[in-house]
Structure 1
């Protein structure tokens, strides 16, 4: 196992992200399939106004991730393991052969719609950089004061994400900066993801998965909420359903992949937040955002990595 393909979650979206994909047959066919399944022009999902909403953001991330995986596969680039953060788990499952793209589109539409309906306003997420997980946990406990607040992502030793009500998030931000955090900023996410507040969404998704065919992965699938590999189809369905309400154990999961021999990390568009995290933790390894390189360069990297296997 040497090459991992990473898929970002909500917050990474940006206007024009689907139009910016390489001009490749796999990208064009993926966008067309999405438009046909959803019954709307894919361009309607990538405007700045649309991406302010949870629904367009999550669907656009799914489409971009699947298009990227299909382009790499079409060009013969070998990927050994896939890993997605939050909604990024859905394109990861499609890329691994566990879930049909059409089913993923319908499930993500349900997921995002339920999230937006459950928390239309007054909630969100904040990234805190520069404090340990233990210190952030203490700040979260103190900042609750009757309003819900949780640690939702363990991204790196000094990067945690918290989710909850606006007033509690504001208290936690102020306390974090007073405690010496380098940064405490609101993420471009309108809902309090990866905490018990979203348990109803997980229940709805689990019910929807009863009508969906799941298959064992052809490419290894790593779960960021369990920090382990999953191959059983039923367990995969549960993982995809429940990850919306479970903390993201990103640091542990990437460490697992490194221990299993991954030496090249590729991030599907948009952005480079995931490969930046890997690069900070493991500067000796190669971590590349596919948004920053031409497809030919990416294929060269993957082929060069194959030679070392």
Structure 2
């Protein structure tokens, strides 16, 4: 079975929309984006534009949906989908749970809420080499209401992400290195996602969903916030609205996909972050990303997996 994965902020790169295949499914996605935004989406992927959280999130939505639609047009669509953070929105579109035009407007609103809440002085950082039980006491030593820092993403047992204000994050990073972390890295994310700092913005996102129809998915939608398969439209809407303020459990989500029968995971543009995180779980399967792989090779792999899944 096939799992499509959709990355979150930090995976963006300049030119990512211009690198999409020349195909009617991609052109249709760009046209629909223009209709929803009343602006040209191909202006969003410059280095300058990507300094904006709104542009980053829209680029990841457009690229994810366009590339997935390309594969669907070639009759090799996914049996399951999972997205990290903003990646949950293109995942929901490809699962058939969310109309694309609604997703564009919702993601634009999401980016605006996140950017306006924390325009500067906040972000996220990766901590590699410590598990959560080693990292959480270090966070507790630093965190105060005036100097907030939180455990945000549990991407793997020893690959974690913190979120918060710049100063407290730097202190946790130094403490983590002192406790044996092998690497610490500030991420290309300018907002403190996946922690309670976004509780009030999540309330506003729930209000934004009030006028949106969410459907029962046609393929399995996996929530990386709670590592569960979701089927009820109202629960999926809540999952999408709340995910900016909820921890990410990617390792558990990848394992859930494996347990449900996925054997080939393909990451939509841009980057290979989710592929690197998913590959250890799919050790007896296959994990690939679209970037830096030939399209014909990916189509052949997907066709083979789909044929095996139907027998």
Asked if Structure 1 and Structure 2 have the same fold, meaning a TM-score greater than 0.5 normalized by the shorter chain, the answer is yes
1:293, CA displacement in angstroms? Answer: 2.0
1:226, CA displacement in angstroms? Answer: 1.1
1:284, CA displacement in angstroms? Answer: 2.4
Match of 1:134 in 2: 133
Deviations 1:161-190 (A, max 9, x none): 000111100100111111111111111111
Question: For structure 1, which runs of at least 5 residues remain unmatched after alignment?
Answer: none
Match of 2:94 in 1: 95
Whole-angstrom CA distance in 2 between matches of 1:199 and 1:71: 35
Superposed, 1:13-52 pairs within 5 Å as 13-52=12-51
Determine helix, strand or coil for the equivalent of 1:287.
strand
Match of 1:116 in 2: 115
- The answer to which of 57-66 and 35-44 deviates more is 35-44
Match of 1:189 in 2: 189
Match of 1:295 in 2: 295
Determine helix, strand or coil for the equivalent of 1:94.
helix
1:18, CA displacement in angstroms? Answer: 0.2
Whole-angstrom CA distance in 2 between matches of 1:188 and 1:19: 20
Superposed, 1:199-278 pairs within 5 Å as 199-278=199-278
1:285, CA displacement in angstroms? Answer: 1.9
1:283, CA displacement in angstroms? Answer: 2.7
1:23, CA displacement in angstroms? Answer: 1.2
TM-score (norm 2): 0.97
Is 1:168 aligned with 2:168? Answer: yes
Whole-angstrom CA distance in 2 between matches of 1:284 and 1:143: 40
- Does structure 1 retain, via aligned residues, the 8 Å contact 2:68–2:77? no
Question: For structure 2, which runs of at least 5 residues remain unmatched after alignment?
Answer: none
1:159, CA displacement in angstroms? Answer: 0.3
Whole-angstrom CA distance in 2 between matches of 1:219 and 1:177: 42
Superposed, 1:137-152 pairs within 5 Å as 137-145=136-144, 146-152=146-152
How many residues end up aligned between the 2 structures? 308
1:78, CA displacement in angstroms? Answer: 3.3
Match of 1:180 in 2: 180
Q: What is the RMSD computed on CA atoms of the aligned residues?
A: 1.0
1:41, CA displacement in angstroms? Answer: 1.3
